[in-house]
């Protein structure tokens, strides 16, 4: 048995012979906040796709809370407690913030939840607390369409948390946000890290500096190095792959 929340062992994903991930050995401690960085095409999105069951491993395996995810569907993996936030917000624009959270809260139909539904009073308290955490109490009754891009990102993170996952996978949460909004999303992830394991993929190095404790650098489908942000930024191999990238 392992005490890690997530482990990948020799994980390989091939697309028609092209290996997007090559023998990847990765692990995450319960309660850890990890940031994965890497140049375009490094395999970051594929890494999230294979954890969530969107693509299947070609070889190797993934263990979540010690359980092999082999042949589990996306739906099953999500019910096991892995929540994924995609890059663009997927909120219901015509519903209020509160209604969006309520929907997500009910979306997780576990057998346990159906047998022992929480009383409505508990639900209101729970969702109210969540609104505070995501900093959207004043917007509770506003339609999501009226939110700024950063507020939508925070709402969607709240919707993810409403489904009570143990592990949150967050793909580039601050792309296109202002500095102020970026700071707020960073604070939110730090708060959530007190109660969840979180894996964040990010490009924005300022943001990585704000939130990161441990950083994993992916390059050509394998781990180039791991360490604190200072350690990885000083690593000549990391400098080389970043400098070797065409400027956008
Ligand atoms: P990143 O998110 O780090 O930019 P990706 O995981 O999206 O990288 O992609 C890694 C590599 O795998 C890229 O070369 C990409 O072209 C390739 N790739 C990703 N998904 C597919 C797919 N469905 N079919 C074929 N090639 C793919
Ligand atoms: Mg990507």
Is 17 a pocket residue for ligand 1 (Cβ < 6 Å)?
A: no
Note the pLDDT of residue 161: 94
Q: How, if at all, do strands 197-201 and 18-28 pair?
A: unpaired
Is 45 a pocket residue for ligand 1 (Cβ < 6 Å)?
A: yes
Atom 23 (ligand 1): residue with closest C-alpha? 15
Comparing C-alpha atoms, which of 36, 66, 69, 8 is closest to residue 219? 36
- Which region among 22-26, 105-109, 202-206 has the lowest average model confidence (pLDDT)? 105-109
Residue 2 has pLDDT above 70, yes or no: no
| Same domain assignment for residues 145 and 182 | no
> Higher confidence at residue 248 or residue 140?
140
Over the stretch 46-99, which tens digit does the pLDDT of each residue have?
A: 999 999 999 999 999 999 999 999 999 999 999 999 999 877 778 999 999 999
Give the number of whichever ligand sits closest to the CA of residue 241.
1
| Same domain assignment for residues 69 and 171 | yes
Give the number of whichever ligand sits closest to the CA of residue 217.
1
SS3 51: helix
Residue 246 has pLDDT above 90, yes or no: no
Residue 244 has pLDDT above 80, yes or no: no
Residue 26 has pLDDT above 60, yes or no: yes
End residue of a domain, out of 149, 164, 179: 164
* Ligand 1 atom closest to 47 (CA): 6
| Same domain assignment for residues 235 and 170 | yes
Give the number of whichever ligand sits closest to the CA of residue 218.
1
Domain count for the chain: 2
Lookup: tokens for 106: 């009910």
End residue of a domain, out of 115, 138, 164: 164
At residue 203 the predicted structure's pLDDT band, cuts being 50, 70 and 90, is confident
CA dist 195 and 234 (Å) reads: 31
Residue 186 has pLDDT above 90, yes or no: yes
End residue of a domain, out of 124, 146, 164: 164
Residue 191 has pLDDT above 90, yes or no: yes
Are the C-beta atoms of 42 and 29 separated by less than 8 Å?
Answer: no
Altogether, the residues listed in the chain come to a count of: 248
Are the C-beta atoms of 137 and 165 separated by less than 8 Å?
Answer: no
Q: Name the residue range of residue 151's domain.
A: 90-164
Beta partners for residue 168, in sequence order: 83, 198
Are the C-beta atoms of 157 and 101 separated by less than 8 Å?
Answer: no
In the predicted model, what is the mean pLDDT of residues 119-124?
Answer: 81
At residue 123 the predicted structure's pLDDT band, cuts being 50, 70 and 90, is confident
Substitution candidate for ligand 1 out of 12, 44, 46 with most atoms within 8 A of CB: 46
In the predicted model, what is the mean pLDDT of residues 198-205?
Answer: 90
Lookup: tokens for 229: 């942000």
| Same domain assignment for residues 178 and 247 | yes
Residue 215 has pLDDT above 60, yes or no: yes
Ligand 2 centroid vs 173 CA: distance in angstroms? 12
Note the pLDDT of residue 114: 59
**CA of residue 52 relative to chain centroid, distance:** 11
At residue 112 the predicted structure's pLDDT band, cuts being 50, 70 and 90, is low
Note the pLDDT of residue 166: 95
Substitution candidate for ligand 1 out of 11, 12, 14, 15 with most atoms within 8 A of CB: 15
Strand intervals (E) in 5-85: 6-15, 18-28, 33-37, 59-64, 67-68, 82-85
Residue 115 has pLDDT above 70, yes or no: no
CA dist 172 and 25 (Å) reads: 22
How high does pLDDT run on average in the chain? Answer: 91
| Same domain assignment for residues 192 and 72 | yes
| Same domain assignment for residues 60 and 175 | yes
Atom 25 (ligand 1): residue with closest C-alpha? 15
Note the pLDDT of residue 109: 57
| Same domain assignment for residues 171 and 74 | yes
Residue 119 has pLDDT above 80, yes or no: no
Give Cα separations from 199 to 45, 162, 248 (angstroms).
Answer: 12, 17, 26
Ligand 1 centroid vs 47 CA: distance in angstroms? 10
Are the C-beta atoms of 52 and 78 separated by less than 8 Å?
Answer: yes
In the predicted model, what is the mean pLDDT of residues 103-124?
Answer: 72
Say what percent of the chain tops pLDDT 90: 76
SS3 197: strand
Comparing C-alpha atoms, which of 206, 233, 228, 203 is closest to residue 215? 228
Is 46 a pocket residue for ligand 1 (Cβ < 6 Å)?
A: yes
CATH number at residue 205: 3.40.50.300
């Amino acid at each position: 048995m392992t005490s890690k929340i997530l482990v990948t062992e020799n994980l390989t994903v091939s697309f028609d012979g092209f290996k997007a991930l090559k023998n990847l050995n990765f692990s995450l401690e319960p309660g850890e906040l990890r940031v994965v960085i890497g140049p375009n095409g490094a395999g970051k999105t594929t890494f999230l796709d294979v954890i969530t069951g969107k693509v299947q491993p070609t070889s190797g395996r993934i263990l979540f809370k010690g359980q092999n995810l082999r042949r589990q569907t996306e739906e099953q993996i999500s019910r096991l407690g892995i929540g994924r936030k995609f890059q663009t917000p997927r909120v219901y624009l015509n519903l209020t913030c509160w209604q969006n959270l309520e929907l997500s809260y009910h979306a997780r139909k576990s057998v346990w939840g159906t047998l022992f539904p929480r009383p409505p009073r508990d639900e209101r308290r729970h969702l109210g607390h969540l609104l505070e955490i995501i900093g959207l109490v004043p917007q509770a009754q506003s339609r999501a369409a009226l939110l700024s891009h950063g507020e939508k990102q925070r709402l969607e993170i709240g919707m993810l948390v409403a489904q009570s996952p143990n592990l949150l996978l967050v793909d580039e949460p601050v792309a296109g946000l202002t500095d102020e909004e970026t700071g707020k999303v960073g604070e939110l992830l730090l708060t959530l890290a007190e109660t969840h394991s979180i894996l964040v993929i990010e490009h924005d190095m300022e943001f990585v500096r704000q939130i990161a404790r441990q950083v994993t650098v992916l390059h050509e489908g394998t781990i180039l190095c791991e360490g604190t942000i200072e350690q990885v930024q000083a690593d000549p191999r990391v400098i080389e792959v970043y400098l070797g990238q065409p400027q956008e």
